[in-house]
Structure 1
Amino acid sequence: MLTGWRRLWTRPALMPYVRLLVLVLAVNVGTAVVVLPGTTTATRLDVALTATALNLGAAALIRQQHVVNLLFRVATSAPVSWPLRVRAALAKVYHLGGIHVGAALAATAWFGVLAVTALSPAGRDGLSPTTLGVVVALALLLVLIAALATAPLRRRHHEAFEMSHRFGGWLTLALFVVLTVRYAHDVAPGSAWDVILTEPATWVLLVVVVSVALPWLHLRKVAVDVHTPSSHVALVRLHHHPRTFVGSSTTIARHPLGQWHPFANLVTPSRPELRLAISRAGDWTGSFIDSPPEHVWVRGVPTAGAGNVGKLFRKVVWVTTGSGIGPCLPSLLAGAPAHLVWATRTPEATFGPELVAEITESLPDALVWDTRAQGKPDLVALALDAVATTGAEAVICISNRPTTFEVVEALESRGIPAYGAIWDS
């Protein structure tokens, strides 16, 4: 059992995601404190423009699918012979979304500095009305995107959050390109292109535009077969064969400009096909199950997720409830050393006897807890017992938000590496 300040680190409010967010903000605040005091208006505008671009670049790249896959590949390449403490830390790689949030907030703050400076009397003297209009529009847009991304609004209005991030993000990039060109023309009318080509923001924006466009170059319409063993879940087979891997997910939509949702790829050596399990968890998934489509749209490439970190451990206990079995299945069916604790209501009636049989054949010692017949389980106790019985090195919990945080915190406070979704998208 951990004690004192070490136990504080296991609290959700201080998880690595939050620590990375705070670190990014602290670096930016420190930079502002060192660089901004005593600067001229022109220098302050240059610094704020560059800092905004760099932070927007960091926020975009840390979410780019190929970058995510590279980071996961590096982090999970450590051999299991390495000390458990090192491997447990590397497994937190999926918390890197904290850099996205920290950089996005920092970019918004830096652009606030730029906007205040540009709209000051000294700033207005050197900038055209068009440039000032773009500055105001960008400032309002960044604040709107940040507001809709706050946890309460994101949970209650997820579609508005997603649309603001996608279309607002595209508009932000477009306006930022316009601002970069207009700003260069204002500060150097006779040599604007020289300024544009030497401005760091130009090259950062170019990288971001390419990274944002890349997944859409893989956009395709794919035929699907949908089997609904119950009104709670749909098992989807895609007529599409990308290079998937255990712990990866595929992002699909019913319309290219509609909502996009990632689902874990059910990778089974004996069945070389792309399958997904979609459980009822909102309007979009409910509509998908009730009115299965004949086609879906697929964007980008299979992307690593939290389930991918299991390869860092000799054996993992998967603790899941209900439809959380979906993200667990790839690792379980691929034959990775694992033990399963699955609590769900009437598993065969809900998920179909074929899928349950597939799980129990892969893991004969799996604990499948029928909550209708056996009541609500103590998942922490079941996880601790499974770790003690199987000698597993880590626990991965896939459940709802309160249960996941409860299980992860309880196990980590006892010194057992534990992982689970952090709801950062």
Structure 2
Amino acid sequence: MYAVSPGRSRSSSHFCDIDIDADKDDHDDDDDDDVEVEFIAEGTQDAEKQQQKKANSSRISIILLDQGFTVYKWIFLVCLALNMVALSLAASGHFPYAKEKASLFSIANILALTLCRSEATLRILFYLVVKTIGKPFVPLRIKTSTTSFLQSLGGIHSSCGVSSISWLLFSLVLTIKNKNKTSTEIIVVAFVILLLLFLSSLAAFPLVRHLHHNVFERTHRFAGWTALILLWLFILLSISYDPNSQSYHFTISKMIKNQESWFTLAITILIVLPWLTVRKVAVRVSTASSHATIIKFEGGVEAGLFGRISPSPLSEWHAFGIISDGKKEHMMLAGAVGDFTRSLVSTKPNHLWVRKLHFAGLTYLVKLYKRVLLVATGSGICVFLSFLLQKRQHHVDVYLIWVAKDIETNFGKEIVELVRNYPKEKVIVHDTGVCGRPNVGEMSVEGATTWNCEVVIVTSNPQGSKDVVRACKKAKIPAFGPIWDS
């Protein structure tokens, strides 16, 4: 069903930095690990502030109060419990190795949390998972359980962050108790690292992260970099210090034999690797509508991936879903919802900074299944369009429900044509400006049942995603949507 009608509407942020829907509960969704979230509403400044306050309030209520015991929380608690048991055994003298190597356990947790956020590692992991269990004979339960786990890897990241602080604090206490065996410099450096880790974790707390996202991103980034530099200094000082002579004597052999050095080297490689792919590339920017721009790049990209762009690579990065036919070019849909995205409309730059290493998210796992219903509201459509364009390049039979307001006016003819060119019997496009606001949850259940889909993947605002997932699960249909940490 196609129902597309021109009209006027206000804009707000969504999964790909734009959503066009004037309904009261249509707010932004989270950025994938680091996708920036911004809000805008037309009208006076007071109206804009009121709308943002309302959006923040709704979002925080979903994040903090209405999630239940999620897989993310389960993973967080299991990982934290394992660390706390080991720490308790070490403190009580029943785990002497951990007591002697408390700083190593702290660094090991930092390595684990880095692995769970490494775009290169996750790209490889998602690829291997799709190749391994994305076969028709693999039971659906295994696929859905794997999807749920991979989507919630942030639980390991968060838990290891808390655990690394606990282990480092334990190590610092032991060091101070035996300060005759160490130096003041080592204690000071360890204490500063502890403060930086605590500051980084505090900035990542949901209430801070989602109300002050720029504070979170910059604190997390620069505190992390500084802590890494100081960690190398801590290791060099620790392996060089001789308590008998109270002096430093560094040798390469000590460095090679030191376990902390190898763990820290792995952390450094994982952090530096994405930055080695940063390039300034030529782009073509065109106006999709008064609310959005389309940014085009050379080179095809496989379906299900996201990309990062920046006007200034050291200060800010913006992540968007990638739209590509997999051949000659790819593009991103950017809404005019922040300083950077508004500047794209006004200045239309010829070059932007990009990370050549594109990263995988929930949508990449669409490839695990045989028949999938994709449900999008507003600009959530952009993360799914590659599957429509590359229908001959993957084995997945994809169906689509897209709900948005004044679609052609707000998204432009180019985006609309990409959807229109897909087989009509596999698509439902619902323009709320023409047909009114639907019950997307009921539509999803009906669509999945009619098309006999194995699973439903939704991109919407927090409330919308929750409604679709709950409706589908009530009907015993597996469903997944962005979580607050996705």
User: SS of the counterpart of 1:115?
Assistant: helix
Counterpart of 2:460 in structure 1 is 399
Counterpart of 2:274 in structure 1 is 215
- Tell me if the contact between 1:249 and 1:302 (Cα under 8 Å) persists in the aligned partners: yes
- Tell me if the contact between 2:325 and 2:390 (Cα under 8 Å) persists in the aligned partners: yes
- Tell me, yes or no, if structure 1 residue 368 matches structure 2 residue 368: no
Pairing 1:384-395 to 2, within 5 Å after superposition: 384-395=445-456
Counterpart of 1:15 in structure 2 is 70
Letter in 2 for 1:292: K
Pairing 1:116-195 to 2, within 5 Å after superposition: 116-119=173-176, 122-186=177-241, 193=251, 194-195=253-254
Counterpart of 1:294 in structure 2 is 350
Task: Determine which structure has the larger helix proportion and give its number.
Answer: 1
Shift, 1:272, TM fit:
2.2
Counterpart of 2:439 in structure 1 is 378
- Tell me if the contact between 1:45 and 1:118 (Cα under 8 Å) persists in the aligned partners: no
Distance 2:476 2:242 in 1: 58
Counterpart of 2:482 in structure 1 is 421
Q: 1:340 aligns with which of 397, 400, 411?
A: 400
Letter in 2 for 1:268: D
User: SS of the counterpart of 1:301?
Assistant: coil
Q: 1:227 aligns with which of 286, 297, 306?
A: 286
User: SS of the counterpart of 1:256?
Assistant: coil
Q: 1:318 aligns with which of 374, 389, 395?
A: 374
Tell me the alpha carbon deviations over residues 264-299 of structure 1, each in whole angstroms, 9 at most, x when there is no partner. Answer: 221215x52121122345444344344432211112
Distance 2:227 2:248 in 1: 27
What are structure 2's unaligned runs of at least 5 residues?
A: 1-65
Distance 2:333 2:128 in 1: 28
Q: 1:310 to 1:353 in 2, by over 3 A?
A: same
- Tell me, yes or no, if structure 1 residue 238 matches structure 2 residue 297: yes
Letter in 2 for 1:109: S
Tell me the alpha carbon deviations over residues 112-146 of structure 1, each in whole angstroms, 9 at most, x when there is no partner. Answer: 22233334xx2333221211211221111111111
Identical-pair percentage:
29
- Tell me if the contact between 1:380 and 1:410 (Cα under 8 Å) persists in the aligned partners: yes
Distance 2:92 2:257 in 1: 24
Shift, 1:89, TM fit:
1.4
Letter in 2 for 1:151: P
Distance 2:328 2:473 in 1: 36
Pairing 1:273-288 to 2, within 5 Å after superposition: 273-288=329-344
Distance 2:477 2:169 in 1: 43
Tell me the alpha carbon deviations over residues 20-59 of structure 1, each in whole angstroms, 9 at most, x when there is no partner. Answer: 222211111121122221389x977642201111010111
Q: 1:312 to 1:25 in 2, by over 3 A?
A: same
User: Looking at both structures, which has the greater relative contact order when contacts are Cα pairs under 8 Å and sequence separation is at least 6?
Assistant: 2
What are structure 1's unaligned runs of at least 5 residues?
A: 1-10
Shift, 1:246, TM fit:
0.9
Distance 1:27 1:396 in 2: 32
Counterpart of 1:76 in structure 2 is 130
Shift, 1:205, TM fit:
0.3
Q: 1:113 to 1:409 in 2, by over 3 A?
A: farther
- Tell me, yes or no, if structure 1 residue 50 matches structure 2 residue 104: yes
Shift, 1:350, TM fit:
0.6
Counterpart of 1:198 in structure 2 is 257
- Tell me if the contact between 1:48 and 1:114 (Cα under 8 Å) persists in the aligned partners: yes
- Tell me, yes or no, if structure 1 residue 357 matches structure 2 residue 417: yes
TM-score, length basis structure 1: 0.90
User: SS of the counterpart of 2:334?
Assistant: strand
Distance 1:307 1:354 in 2: 22
Shift, 1:362, TM fit:
1.2
User: SS of the counterpart of 1:368?
Assistant: strand
Distance 1:207 1:402 in 2: 39
Letter in 1 for 2:187: L
Letter in 1 for 2:297: L
User: SS of the counterpart of 1:72?
Assistant: helix
Shift, 1:90, TM fit:
2.1
CA RMSD of aligned residues (A): 2.2
- Tell me if the contact between 2:126 and 2:360 (Cα under 8 Å) persists in the aligned partners: yes
- Tell me, yes or no, if structure 1 residue 32 matches structure 2 residue 80: no
- Tell me if the contact between 2:242 and 2:249 (Cα under 8 Å) persists in the aligned partners: no
Point out the more displaced range, 356-365 or 304-313: 356-365
Shift, 1:356, TM fit:
0.6
Shift, 1:374, TM fit:
2.0
Letter in 2 for 1:410: A
Point out the more displaced range, 216-225 or 282-291: 282-291
User: SS of the counterpart of 1:373?
Assistant: helix
Distance 1:20 1:216 in 2: 29
Point out the more displaced range, 363-372 or 341-350: 363-372
